[in-house]
């Protein structure tokens, strides 16, 4: 079983602040995905990172894949209330299963 | 999320009854995955199916739970003799026929199952 640990578990910040959430594992990922899930909805894919050291930007969101492909981070600049949600990292093992992290629940207060 | 359709969105059952959850994948997708989610937690893999085949059911309880993905029609997750511990959100995801390790999954909006 590939365990994905996310931190922090809960995060509450004021609008305009910056934040970083983390996804870590003792295993090497072939690739890693970040999803955002809003209450009452299914997860929506934000990005897939594949190469060690890779950095991808999606507007105010910056995703980084660790050089050793065992960790990843998501940085949000100038957070907005619309960023509120559960952020999940996920990776696929050599078989058929996607493993999801425990998630970071983000609340951005206006 | 609109591409993967799950129904019903909410399902209430009494202990001992059966629950049937349906999932229609996105057009052109023949791989379906079912997940279970408890509040404020990540998703736990249950089963992976392709048309008419169960590929991996290692995350699904051996008793009372079954899944199918027939040649025609939606995928069905069936829970027999439900117990209170089955209360959760059940999500379905699909990926294209050519999906590989890096192929993302597209999720439906889930079925919230409540057991009285």
**DSSP-derived secondary structure for A52-110:** TT-EEEETTEEEEE-TTSSEEEEEESS--GGG-EEEEEEEE-SSS-EEE---EEEEEE-
> Whole-angstrom distance between the N-terminal and C-terminal Cα of chain B?
29
- What is the structure's pLDDT at B109? 94
- What is the structure's pLDDT at A1? 52
- What is the structure's pLDDT at A93? 67
Q: Mean per-residue pLDDT for B17-46?
A: 91
pLDDT in tens, A19-76: 999 999 888 888 889 999 998 899 999 999 988 999 999 999 999 999 998 999 999 9
Instruction: Report how many Cβ contacts below 8 Å link chain A to chain B.
Output: 65
CB atoms within 10 A of CB A21: 22
Q: Between B19 and B104, whose confidence is greater?
A: B19
Which of A96, A104, A107 best probes binding to B when mutated, by most B CB atoms within 10 angstroms?
Answer: A96
Q: Between A67 and A2, whose confidence is greater?
A: A67
- What is the structure's pLDDT at A94? 64
Say yes or no for a CB contact (<8 Å) between A50 and B102: yes
User: What are phi and psi for residue B8, nearest 5 degrees?
Assistant: -75, 170
Say yes or no for a CB contact (<8 Å) between A97 and B40: no
Say yes or no for a CB contact (<8 Å) between B105 and A98: yes
- What is the structure's pLDDT at B1? 45
Average of per-residue pLDDT values in chain B: 90
Average of per-residue pLDDT values in chain A: 91
> Cβ contacts of residue A110 below 8 Å, gap of 6+?
A15, A81
- Residue whose pair of structure tokens reads 């995060």 in the numeric block: A11
From chain B, the residues in CB contact with A48 under 8 A are 102, 104
Residue A30 sits at the chain B interface (C-beta within 8 Å):
yes
Burial of A48 per CB tally in 10 Å (0-12, 13-18, 19+): middle
Q: Return the DSSP state at B26.
A: P
Decide: B49 and B107 in contact? Cβ < 8 Å.
no
């Amino acid at each position: 079983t590939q365990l994905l640990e996310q931190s922090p578990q809960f995060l509450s910040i004021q609008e305009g602040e910056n934040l970083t959430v983390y996804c870590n594992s003792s295993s090497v990922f072939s690739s890693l995905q970040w999803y955002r899930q809003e209450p009452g909805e299914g997860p929506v894919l934000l990005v897939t990172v594949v190469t060690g050291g890779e950095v991808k930007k999606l507007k105010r969101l910056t995703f980084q894949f660790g050089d050793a492909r065992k960790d990843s981070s998501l940085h949000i600049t100038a957070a907005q209330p619309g960023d509120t949600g559960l952020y999940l990292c996920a990776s696929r093992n050599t078989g058929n299963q996607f493993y999801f992290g425990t998630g970071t629940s983000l609340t951005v207060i206006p | 999320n609109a591409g993967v359709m799950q129904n019903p969105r909410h399902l209430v059952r009494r202990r001992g009854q059966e629950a049937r959850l349906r999932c229609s994948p996105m057009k052109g997708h023949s791989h379906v995955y079912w997940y279970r989610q408890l509040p404020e937690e990540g998703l736990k893999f249950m089963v992976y199916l392709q048309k008419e085949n169960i590929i991996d059911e290692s995350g699904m309880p051996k008793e009372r739970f079954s899944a199918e993905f027939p040649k025609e029609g939606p995928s069905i997750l069936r829970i027999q003799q439900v117990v209170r511990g089955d209360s959760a959100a059940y999500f379905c995801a699909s990926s294209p026929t050519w999906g590989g390790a890096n192929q993302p999954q597209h999720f439906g909006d889930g079925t919230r199952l409540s057991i009285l």
